[in-house]
Structure 1
Amino acid sequence: MNSQQRMLTIFLHLLSGKQITKRELMEEFNKKESTIQRDIGYIEEVLHTEVVNSSLPNTVNIKRDGRGNYQLQHSEDINKLEGLTDTDILLLLKILHSTRIFNKREFFSLSNKLLALAENKESLQFFIKNEQLYYQGIASDDMLEQLEMIANAIINHRMLEFFYTKNDVTETFQRVPNAIYFSDMYFYMLSSSHTAQDDTDLLALNKFRIHSMVDVKVISSHNKRNHKDKFEGGIFRTQTVLPFLGNPITILLDFYYDPMYVLDRFPNSKILQTNEDGSTRIEIKGNDGYGMKMWLSSQSHMVKVISPKHIRDYLIQDMKDTLRLYDIEIND
């Protein structure tokens, strides 16, 4: 039994509301007094954090009597906390289906765990049975163990070594991860900030699809992490709908369709005016990464970029190159 399993078992003992003794815990887990005291301290720290975050009432705490006895005060307040409703579970199942990242074995393991929490399992299955029947995951191998390994590496500043293939070229990488990010069907491991270089030089990559990382192993621990390399996923998610890193920029465009299509995707965007031709002028706080360029290109005739000039020029050239694929020549 590892330390996490041991602390979970201790917490379950405490949830009974009965007094437990340090001696009993030492004998049950064959651990020293200092280990049990440390475990109780960790549990108290988590409880305090949850109280501060208002997910637990401030009456919940562990009472110590000074003689090695512990008792969880107001444990009934924890037991009364509202769990997931069937509607909550249905929403989570729908989102899980839409990701398509996990193989069938892991997908059904996760979905079955959620269904096991439902009061009316059969009713929920009615809404998802067709999606389950035709589910096809992107990853061929299991991912959860690798995700856990990377998460532990982030917490402990461990350096990982792995093989990674892109555009049929395979290289060996050594990176200290600092974040896990999900977007557009993939889980990514990040090893630098959200403004770092992205997808230009293979050996300089800072973003890796986790299911494409092969033979991942830890090669060192306690590596120094520079603050400038901090990945801020919350900021990044507001700057682009496709997960490509880049520097923050302001884009001015005219949009020839429902402006909500833009505003919903870029929460820091705003409407500046309605033009005479019926288009809407919108200001977007985005980034200059390839993902933003891809999204703008995908809008085709519905968008006209006003500024910055280098984004405008990129789109014009992209449209010319596309037309040439159809043997349509454009006079420059």
Structure 2
Amino acid sequence: MYKANKSQLMVQLYLELIRKSTLTREEIKGIVGDSDRTVQRYINDLIKFVEHNNTSLLNEEGKFLFEINDDSYDMDFINEGQVRKPMIVRDKKALTLSLKYSETLNKKYVLILIKILLDTRALNENETLKVINHLLSHLCIEDREKIYNSIRSEVRRFIELEAALPLIDSVWKLNQCIMNKDILSITYFNLKSKKRNLEIAPMYITQDEFYFYLIGYNADKDNMTTLRVDRIDDYKIITNKTDKSRFKVDQVDQHNELGTYKNRTPLMFSGQNERITFEYYGPSIEAILDKFPDNKYSKLESNHEHYKVDINASGRGVYMWLLSQGADIKVISPPSAKQKMKQIVTEMHRLYE
């Protein structure tokens, strides 16, 4: 018959405290034994262990990986340059033992991540549930149940995208190719389900408008190419040095340019970069500026409030989005962009004649 030793009982007690956040004295006795002296000894040892052992969220230099310009954040989580340590609080009156500040994931952040995940519908139903369950598993029972009850209706009524495929493994493997600076030969299906082959140097992965996209440099066309991850049928890594040399991966300013490229490409349609100027007459200039972060704008004097906006954009997706705003937007330059808008509007009008 299995009998746990003291070390194993200590681990079991700590894990149960993490799981439930608060234990009664009777629950502690159920783990370590009925003796009050034994219970007290385990409690004292556990308090000493928690006081002198904590999992740091800082890097080796004692700083966060990304700088956060928020004094309230520092006050909340940092104590004299260190992450707030877990601590055990004894309530002698209630005869309970509680573990504070032990969460490996913050309950507020878990809720936010789950809400974003459900809203984007970027993963199919099975993978969405796997991620949600994994996030919730890092919380104590009380917080887990609170979040579960708040999202239960959304989860039960979740509708995955048409032809939704498993993506988590694909995204991870492609990201590994990016980190390794691999060159990929890809078999890809376009919007019309037509198969084509292309070679790219994958640069980064992003998520937008329901889908995950792989952004990569196409040496044959000397431009950035955007591929929906779920439409990648297969790929292989190119190892031939002659084939790899034409991509010149090390010359691409990966760290500075990729975020800039994303800011210019709504709806993830790749293409040539161009500056487009338009007048905006709609109710929310903030919505325009959020959609095109790389922008300049000014308020125009007129009989009614409107703005002049200059954006830096790439690909035909920008025209799809501008047209979706109807009469709230009037493109004024360059002439080529103005003419393209006229052409599309004329073609739309013909459909209703």
Q: When the two structures are superposed, what TM-score results if normalisation uses the length of structure 2?
A: 0.64
Match of 1:211 in 2: 230
Match of 2:160 in 1: 137
Match of 1:107 in 2: 128
The letter for the 2-side match of 1:206 is T
CA spacing shift, 1:286–1:57, aligned 2, 3 Å:
same
CA spacing shift, 1:53–1:226, aligned 2, 3 Å:
closer
Alignment deviations for residues 44-89 of structure 1 (CA, whole Å, 9 cap, x no partner): x9624856756998999xxxxxxxxxxxxx9986997875432221
Aligned ranges 1:109-258 → 2 under 5 Å: 109-119=130-140, 120-138=143-161, 140-166=164-190, 167-192=192-217, 206-220=225-239, 223=244, 224-228=248-252, 230=254, 232-258=257-283
CA spacing shift, 1:303–1:197, aligned 2, 3 Å:
farther
Q: How many residues align?
A: 267
Whether the 8 Å CA contact 2:295–2:309 is kept in 1: the answer is yes
Match of 1:7 in 2: none
Query: Secondary structure, in 3 states, of the residue corresponding to 1:162?
Result: strand
Q: Rg: which structure is higher?
A: 2
Q: Give, in angstroms, the shift of residue 276 of structure 1.
A: 2.0
Alignment deviations for residues 121-180 of structure 1 (CA, whole Å, 9 cap, x no partner): 222123222221122333633211111211111111223333211113112333331211
The letter for the 2-side match of 1:162 is I
Whether the 8 Å CA contact 1:246–1:289 is kept in 2: the answer is yes
Q: Does 1:263 align with 2:289?
A: yes
Q: Give, in angstroms, the shift of residue 291 of structure 1.
A: 1.4
Query: Secondary structure, in 3 states, of the residue corresponding to 1:206?
Result: strand
Distance 1:236 1:262 in 2: 17
Distance 1:317 1:263 in 2: 25
CA spacing shift, 1:88–1:206, aligned 2, 3 Å:
same
CA spacing shift, 1:246–1:58, aligned 2, 3 Å:
farther
Whether the 8 Å CA contact 1:180–1:188 is kept in 2: the answer is yes
Whether the 8 Å CA contact 2:118–2:154 is kept in 1: the answer is yes
CA spacing shift, 1:226–1:246, aligned 2, 3 Å:
farther
Whether the 8 Å CA contact 1:245–1:287 is kept in 2: the answer is no
Distance 1:311 1:57 in 2: 51
Alignment deviations for residues 273-297 of structure 1 (CA, whole Å, 9 cap, x no partner): 3342414122223214211111111
Whether the 8 Å CA contact 1:57–1:77 is kept in 2: the answer is no
Whether the 8 Å CA contact 1:93–1:111 is kept in 2: the answer is yes
CA spacing shift, 1:217–1:197, aligned 2, 3 Å:
closer
- Identify which of 297, 302, 312 aligns with 1:276: 302
Cα RMSD for the two superposed structures: 3.6
CA spacing shift, 1:59–1:279, aligned 2, 3 Å:
closer
CA spacing shift, 1:50–1:217, aligned 2, 3 Å:
farther
Query: Secondary structure, in 3 states, of the residue corresponding to 1:297?
Result: helix
Q: Give, in angstroms, the shift of residue 301 of structure 1.
A: 0.9
Distance 1:278 1:59 in 2: 54
Return 5+ residue gaps in structure 2 as ranges. 1-48, 69-76, 88-100
Q: When the two structures are superposed, what TM-score results if normalisation uses the length of structure 1?
A: 0.68
Distance 2:186 2:265 in 1: 28
Distance 1:307 1:78 in 2: 59
- Identify which of 301, 309, 314 aligns with 2:335: 309
CA spacing shift, 1:226–1:49, aligned 2, 3 Å:
farther
Q: Give, in angstroms, the shift of residue 102 of structure 1.
A: 1.3
Distance 2:157 2:262 in 1: 30
The letter for the 2-side match of 1:263 is L
The letter for the 1-side match of 2:307 is R
The letter for the 2-side match of 1:309 is P
